[in-house]
Amino acid sequence: MTRQLIALLGRKDEPTDAVEEYCRYLGAALEPHDFQMEIRRVPWELHGWRESLRGLHLQSQAWRDTWVLVQYTALAWSARGFPLKFPRVLRLLKSAGARVAVVFHDVEPFSSPRLIDRIRHRVQQRIMRQALHLVDLAIFTVPLHKLSWLPFIPTNAVYTDPTASANPRLSPNTIKSVQEIISPEKLLKLEAGNKAADNPSPLLGRSHFIPVGPNLPIPEQWQSPYRPNDIPTVGVFSITGGNQGAIETQKILSAIQHAAKTVSKLHLSVFGRHAELRQDALRKGLENYPVRLSVDGVLEDKQIIDRIRGCDVLLFVRGGISTRRSSAIAGISCGVPMVAFVGSETTWPFLDAGVILVSPSDPNELNDALVRLLVNPELRAGFSRVNQIIHNEHFAWHVIAGRYAALLNSR
């Protein structure tokens, strides 16, 4: 029997809404598991909170014993990053008898040294902890041991989902890397938490890690032989808006300028959100280099796949690569070798993927890694095959949906 499932979203992001795309692909992948997902919104930015909550109250009367997956980002539920009404949304759903899960797409409170941002950080942390106490299930898009604000200590540093295989296929490199990314102090806490497992936190039992998918219609299982271009193509999928986008553009230019001194001809393909805003800066920065530049803004899903698969290397400079960054996962899923920044959320399976991880504070690492891939087609071919395997085992939508279905059916 098909079960109803509600994905509840806040304010719509423009020009593209990655969370809505996530729900759309997840819903389609859940259909073989006998779940029918409907996407609903709380349009507080259009009608105000009073009318929006009244409308949600009326809708929720039909959701008794129905799973409602509430999608959380701070700006989806507030104009300036103070999501004070979010717990009220969860309480309203619970009072209607719905079974409530929150999916944390923002996994850490916003941080900045400014006074207003320190206040924002504290408010978001308090709201996220309240949400964790209110819901029946919490889905995190990064491993729990990477989170700073949880009111409990995760007892498993690698994988927290009890529905996963008891013997996951982890390479020795992954196991070694996991040991390296956890401080000795945290290892001691984890060991202490394991010893105290006779009285586990109920919050731990309802908290699980499921990575996001590529937000693209990638086949469930696919293999595509790597074919290098006559002129090596470096791709960049999306650039952040605002001042951060200008910083990213300079890092891209620096890496391409450096590579152009070694590789006689290059093609730089920049596409996706905010790409068109940086076209003039990119063209000016490359005018004295043998680099062909193509820039496209927001594209259709299949066009994005074509652009990514047409690249020899992808650069990911939008912060540290993470299991919650669909634009980075898109590169993995399309089987393209990558150079990416390491960050606080970087963990497996990227540690085993066809990705060269570099420090965001050392431009030479980014520059040298890009050249290393561009001059070595055999290395690129190996990285491509590895990324296809990583996609099939971790980021394919049918794998993600299977983990969701197991969790929802177990409660």
Q: What's the rounded Cα separation, in Å, for the pair 56 and 19?
A: 19
Burial class (CB in 10 A: 0-12, 13-18, 19+), 279: middle
Q: Is the pLDDT of residue 175 over 50?
A: no
When pLDDT is averaged across residues 378-384 and rounded to a whole number, the result is 91
Which of 336, 342, 346 has the alpha carbon at shortest distance from 382? Answer: 336
Q: What's the rounded Cα separation, in Å, for the pair 326 and 376?
A: 27
Contact present, 238 and 163 (Cβ < 8 Å):
no
Say what the pLDDT of residue 77 is: 97
SS (H, E, C) 389-405: HHHHHHHCHHHHHHHHH
Contact present, 232 and 312 (Cβ < 8 Å):
yes
pTM for the whole thing? 0.85
Read out DSSP for 76-115? GS-SSS--TTHHHHHHHHHHTT-EEEEEESS-S----SSH
DSSP state of 354: S
When pLDDT is averaged across residues 325-337 and rounded to a whole number, the result is 93
Contact present, 403 and 410 (Cβ < 8 Å):
no
Higher pLDDT, 72 or 318: 72
Cis peptide before 83 (omega within 30 of 0): no
Say what the pLDDT of residue 221 is: 65
Domains delineated in the chain: 3-213+396-409 (3.40.50), 233-395 (3.40.50.2000)
Contact present, 204 and 151 (Cβ < 8 Å):
no
Say what the pLDDT of residue 196 is: 38
Q: Is the pLDDT of residue 194 over 90?
A: no
When pLDDT is averaged across residues 114-143 and rounded to a whole number, the result is 92
Q: Is the pLDDT of residue 46 over 70?
A: yes
Say what the pLDDT of residue 209 is: 92
When pLDDT is averaged across residues 281-290 and rounded to a whole number, the result is 92
Q: Work out whether the CA dihedral 156, 160, 163, 168 comes out positive or negative.
A: negative
Say what the pLDDT of residue 222 is: 64
Strand, helix or coil at 13? coil
Say what the pLDDT of residue 180 is: 47
Say what the pLDDT of residue 284 is: 93
Please report where in the chains the tokens 């086949």 appear, as a residue: 219
Say what the pLDDT of residue 113 is: 81
Q: Is the pLDDT of residue 176 over 60?
A: no
Say what the pLDDT of residue 10 is: 96
Tell me the H-state helices in 172-219: 172-181, 184-195, 202-205
Reading the block at residue 4, the tokens are: 């109803």
Cis peptide before 349 (omega within 30 of 0): yes
DSSP state of 278: G
Greatest mean pLDDT range, 23-27, 111-115, 242-246: 23-27
Say what the pLDDT of residue 224 is: 66
pLDDT in tens, 211-264: 999 999 987 666 666 777 889 999 999 998 888 889 999 999 999 999 999 998
